[in-house]
A and B are shown apart, each in its own frame.
Chain A
């Protein structure tokens, strides 16, 4: 086996991490969707490589599914959504990107620290990427917290799902097919519901700013 191939997996993982950071600091909604698509593509690449190295056929299916869903279908839906919501060129004001980056770096260090003892026990080819996957989960979570608008939050949620998928492939060569299909379907349904939800929010408040939801609180 070519020694380069495991390196390829690490490369993809690194790309995913960089994309996660990029998403964290990206203000433009359109660019966010592009970044998300690229991230999906990187996940597909990493999965395919793992499948090739370990000769696990079901991972090819996973990769195909991810490709169809996260690189084609969901981005297409998101594009449609922002067109119809007319937020294609929206720019979000983000507070203090440098601080956010520093917090993100601290999270990555923490994630590696946590993942280290776990990945040491794992004997899979990609065990080194577990820390990256965990870091991506935390970064996406951070992105969800810091965003005030609805669409970026949804993208944060989707990115988190990507990272979880990466974690699954790296630690245990993927989840059982049934679980994977279930999650894929969940994400799809989730995004549909959130799409409807966003229309409702805008209708109600004339804006997609989530802070308006505070008014729903019971006093």
Chain B
């Protein structure tokens, strides 16, 4: 320590302290900064953004503008986040047909998941927005199905029907069925509110709430859902039940009546 203390008034002492302080803060920053990624990652990220930008210029820019600023044909994409891109492109809604009806429908997906991720990277580089959820967020572990049902009936059923079979909105728009929809996409839809759907950010429906709803849908409308009563008849309620009852119920009974009436006693055939 003596040596140090003797040299504390050395002309270069200030420089040494300064260097030490800089190294220290730099090190701390490197250790704690959120965006701190390995060099290789960073290049991959910027590469993805680059690739995404190219894909965007070809497939999206004609409607959404060259810089995602939007145009008369498509809304601005600044700040919609990666989740919105993953939902819209991942369900085939985007790219939309040039002449669309009242609403952009779900259709065949034209990009690979890798390309979708690149597009998502580019769009989220334009402005911060919700990220693509992870399996841990939308997976079934730790979900309360019954609670999810209650939340679904309170927030979703008025458009999507009791078990997510979909329903009509005004002027040809509609709430689509949630059958065969990837849980990730359901989560993203809730978070970003595509088209006519209101968005349910985490402040409205918490992460746990969303997880519960997805688990409920999987329970009542998933691949392994059983219909204890027999044929579900579309799960649409009394309209399809009434049609079925008229056609197969009464129709069948009338056929039986015709059959019985045709077999009359042989004593006299009039």
Q: Do A and B actually bind?
A: no
| Interface residues of A, Cβ cutoff 8 Å to B | none
